[in-house]
Amino acid sequence: MKFEDLQCIWDSQNEETVFAFDQATLNREVQSKHAKLRRKLLIRDSIEITAGFLCVAVFTTAGIYRATQSLLSGIPLFLAATLILFVCLCFFRGRKEQKLIETQFDDSLIGEIDKVIAQLNYQAKFLKSVLWWYLLPCGAAAMLANFSLYNKNGSIKDHLEYFVLLVVLYSFIYWLNQRAVTKKILPKKQSLESLRSKLTDPNNYQ
């Protein structure tokens, strides 16, 4: 899971004076940046879903081939395909929930800012829970596939080494995602909340 697309989207607002502006111009700018964010998230999700379905197809095909030789040897691959399918469905659900978020706010300047704040909140929640819906299913699928494909040729030591490698790799991925939340998403959200507060403070217009 990569969220570099959230890193620089709102940086240009950090040093701006927010009260000497044309609200219509600022609204268009916020809408433009929001649209770019949506496109980048769509690309990310599309890549993940496409890769997931390719893995499902590969595991299912390999499972059918294995099952023709021995039904038991095909079961781990079918389970692996099911786990990856679960991950794909989580991405689909995420896309649907993000669209529902969009409908909760109007197209005014404040509404557009609220949309992005809500989206950032959702993405932070999405990443914080990445362990159970993404890393664990993918890791389990990788172990099942490894066991099914190499159970005859691989020793217990080989399987343990592969397991340790997965733990190290996925721990690093988990750390990257949590770092993205604290270092990128939350600061952008706080910046937008500050901007919104200033825009809605009546004292700034006196």
Task: Please tell me the least confidently modeled range out of 113-122, 178-187, 189-198.
Answer: 189-198
> Mean pLDDT throughout 15-20?
45
Average pLDDT of the chain is 83
At 23 the pLDDT is 67
- For 119, other C-beta atoms within 10 Å of its C-beta total 20
40: nearest Cα among 106, 143, 112, 116: 116
Predicted confidence (pLDDT) per residue in 39-69, tens digit: 888 999 999 999 999 999 999 999 999 888 8
pLDDT at position 204: 56
Mean pLDDT calculated for residue range 180-196: 89
Q: How much is the pLDDT for 150?
A: 75
For the stretch 62-90, pLDDT in tens is 999 988 888 888 899 999 999 999 999 99
Highest-scoring range by mean pLDDT, 55-69, 95-109, 154-168: 55-69
What average pLDDT does the segment 29-42 reach? 82
131 pLDDT higher than 90: yes
Percentage above 90 pLDDT, the chain: 47
